[in-house]
Copies of this chain bind each other. A is one copy, B any other.
Amino acid sequence: MAHRVKDIAAALGAQAFGAVELLVAGASEPASAGRDDLALAMSPAYGAALGKGQARVAVVWPGADWEALGLEAAIIAPRARLAMAHLTQMLDADLPHTGISPQAAIDPSAQIGAHVTVGAFCVIGAGVVIGDGTWIADQVSIAAGVEIGAACQIHAGVRLQRGVHLGARVILQPNVAIGGDGFSFVTAEPSNVEKARETLGEAAMDAPDDPTWHRIHSLGGVVIGDDVEVGANSCIDAGTIRPTRVGHGTKIDSLVQVGHNVIVGAHCLLCAQAGVAGSTVIGDRVVVGGKAGIADNLSIGDDVVLGGGSVVLSNVPKGRVMMGYPATKMQTHIEGYKALRRLPRILRDLAKR
């Protein structure tokens, strides 16, 4: 669908200059832009590439001389990535709302709202409730009793196990698994893990008399707030006797693990391959970098930022920026790391004294 430059600018809360009636059909990087594309040249580095493409109109950075860049029209966006959010939303195609597939297996007791799409080969169990306008792709399985809010998007291969409640406008990417059983096992006598934690690893571990792991069943389900997104192949496990929870507006990337009983606050970001072990509580607006891990039964304060790859082994007070393994304050980590880089030379010098 084509949009006028002036309409795009208005939608972006940005200013338009030049031939603002021009129509654009899509967005593109400057070098590969066609004549009807809106080029995205939000920094001078990208501006230089405009000449390689054919764009007549671009989103440019504040202060850019758009006429000198050879453009017929320009949109000036003060915060480039925010403009990207609005622009890509405008240009995105609507989901194909095709109604309820006759090839889905839907229990007659399920309550399906208005304008709901359910794709082929979905399985929807007894007593499931699905809110208005929710879109469900193909081959999704939704266990008996699951509740799904309005205007959700649930992509192919998602698994919602018993006890799962989703808020409104939740987006689940392909193959997300929510409500799988928590990983919670116990031996009859104290296990080696317990002994290792108690002794800080000083004692060698022996074979216990009875190594059997007894299973703690997961009865608590999962409650997901409104406006949450979960990336492909991520897992959120069911709680033991109360729900695992993810707060409103939190965004979770691909291949992330959220363990049983975990509480994730509102407006957090959990980047790809992050993991949160059982019963840990995470505050609001926390950012967990890619591949970062948080051990079990910890408390992470509001507004904490954990660097990519860090491993958190103790509680973190609110507002702190953390890095490393084990994670410490970012400054401490950097200082230690720099010292370590100098250490080999210093040890050589010491040896000479």
Contacts and interface: CB of A to CB of B under 8 A. Distances in A.
A255 B257 contact: yes
A211 B284 contact: yes
A280 to B, nearest CB: 11
Contacts of A233: 175, 177, 233-235, 255
B320 A287 contact: no
A148 to B, nearest CB: 16
A253 interface: yes
Interface in A99-152: 101, 103, 105, 119-121, 123, 137-139, 141, 144
A347 interface: yes
Interface stretch (A14-22, A66-74, A192-200): A192-200
A193 to B, nearest CB: 5
Given A254-B183, A303-B206, A271 B267 contact: no
Given A156-B123, A180-B231, A241-B40, A309 B293 contact: yes
A77 to B, nearest CB: 12
A2 interface: no
Given A40-B241, A180-B254, A302-B207, A273 B271 contact: no
A309 to B, nearest CB: 4
Contacts of A201: 305, 321-323, 329-331, 334
Contacts of A192: 285, 287, 303, 305
Contacts of A269: 185, 193, 213
A259 interface: yes
B254 A219 contact: no
Given A217-B91, A329-B201, A186 B120 contact: no
Interface in A142-198: 144, 155-157, 159, 161, 171, 173-175, 177, 180-181, 183-188, 191-193, 196
A167 to B, nearest CB: 15
Contacts of A157: 141, 157, 159, 175, 177
**Contact size range, A:** 35 or more
A204 to B, nearest CB: 4
Copies in the complex: 3
Interface in A273-305: 273, 275, 277, 284-285, 287, 290-291, 293, 295, 302-305
A277 B267 contact: no
A251 B183 contact: yes
A231 to B, nearest CB: 6
A224 interface: no
B217 A88 contact: yes
Given A137-B141, A186-B85, A219-B88, A346 B350 contact: yes
A225 interface: no
Name the 5 nearest CB pairs between A and B, nearest first.
A201-B330, A201-B321, A88-B217, A309-B311, A159-B174
17 contacts: A84-B184, A91-B217, A139-B139, A141-B156, A155-B159, A157-B175, A159-B232, A174-B177, A177-B232, A183-B251, A205-B303, A212-B249, A231-B237, A291-B291, A328-B341, A335-B344, A340-B343
